C-alpha cells in the first residue's frame, strides 16, 4: 500500500514538472505593461533595499599599536616619542643624539593651523638668502636637513610632511 501511494505521488510530481511550462504560457498577462523608455529601450525598475547595508569603518592603523622602542644606538641618545597623525596612522619614534656641533634641537610642536612640525636640528648660524629645510626620520635613518633658496620666481615652497598613510613627502617647489 505504501509503495502504491509513493508511486502515485512521484507520477503526480513528474506530471506537474512537465506541465509547468504550459501553465506559465497560459497565465494572464500583467495588468500594467512595464513602462518603456522614450528611446525604445526597456525600463529597468530598481527597488531600493528595505534596510540600508551596514557601514563599516576601515582603519589604516591598529587601534592601539604597541609602542616599538628599539635599543639606543649609543650612550646618552634621547628618545623622541611616536606621533599619531590626524588620519590615525602612527609615525614611529626614534633615537636622536644629545647634541650636534653647530646645531640646536627644536622639539616637535603643532602650529596654529594644527599641522604637526616634527623635532629637527636647526643650524645656529644663518645663511643669507637661504632658509633651512629641516631633516626628518624616514623610519630607517635620519635624513639631514639642508639649505634651500628663500625664494624662486613664480614658485611656492611646499614644506615636507607626512601624508595620511604615514609616508614622508619631501619638501619641494611647486
| Owning domain of residue 142 | 78-173
The reply to whether 129 falls in a domain is yes
pLDDT of residue 61: 45
The reply to whether 114 falls in a domain is yes
Q: Which helix (H) or strand (E) holds 13?
A: helix 2-26
Distance of CA 165 to the CA centre of its chain: 6
The reply to whether 134 falls in a domain is yes
* 104 compared with 115, residue with greater pLDDT: 104
Cite the DSSP H helix spans in 57-163. none
Total number of domains constituting the chain: 1
The reply to whether 57 falls in a domain is no
> Is the model's pLDDT at 130 over the cut of 80?
yes
Model pTM score: 0.52
Which one, of 118, 120, 115, lies nearest residue 164 by Cα?
Answer: 115
The reply to whether 19 falls in a domain is no
pLDDT in tens, 141-167: 778 889 999 999 999 998 888 787 778
The reply to whether 10 falls in a domain is no
Query: In the structure grid, which three cell numbers stand for residue 142, read together?
Result: 635620519
pLDDT in tens, 30-44: 666 666 655 666 556
Which conformational region is residue 134 in: left (phi greater than 0), alpha (psi within -120 to 50 degrees), or beta? beta
Instruction: State the chain's mean pLDDT as an integer.
Output: 75
The reply to whether 165 falls in a domain is yes
CA distance 85 to 117: 11
The reply to whether 70 falls in a domain is no
Amino acid at each position: 500500500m505504501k509503495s502504491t501511494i509513493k508511486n502515485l505521488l512521484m507520477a503526480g510530481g513528474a506530471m506537474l514538472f512537465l506541465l509547468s511550462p504550459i501553465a506559465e504560457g497560459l497565465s494572464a498577462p500583467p495588468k500594467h505593461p512595464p513602462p518603456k523608455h522614450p528611446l525604445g529601450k526597456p525600463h529597468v525598475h530598481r527597488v531600493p533595499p528595505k534596510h540600508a547595508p551596514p557601514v563599516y569603518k576601515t582603519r589604516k592603523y591598529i587601534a592601539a599599536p604597541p609602542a616599538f622602542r628599539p635599543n639606543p644606538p649609543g650612550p646618552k641618545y634621547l628618545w623622541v616619542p611616536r606621533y599619531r597623525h590626524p588620519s590615525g596612522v602612527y609615525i614611529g619614534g626614534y633615537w636622536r643624539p644629545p647634541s650636534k656641533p653647530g646645531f640646536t634641537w627644536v622639539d616637535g610642536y603643532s602650529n596654529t593651523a594644527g599641522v604637526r612640525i616634527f623635532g629637527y636640528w636647526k643650524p645656529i648660524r644663518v645663511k643669507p638668502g637661504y632658509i633651512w629645510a629641516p631633516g626628518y626620520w624616514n623610519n630607517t635613518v635620519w635624513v639631514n636637513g639642508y639649505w634651500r633658496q628663500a625664494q624662486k620666481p613664480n614658485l611656492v615652497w611646499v614644506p615636507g610632511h607626512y601624508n595620511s598613510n604615514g609616508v614622508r613627502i619631501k619638501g619641494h617647489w611647486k
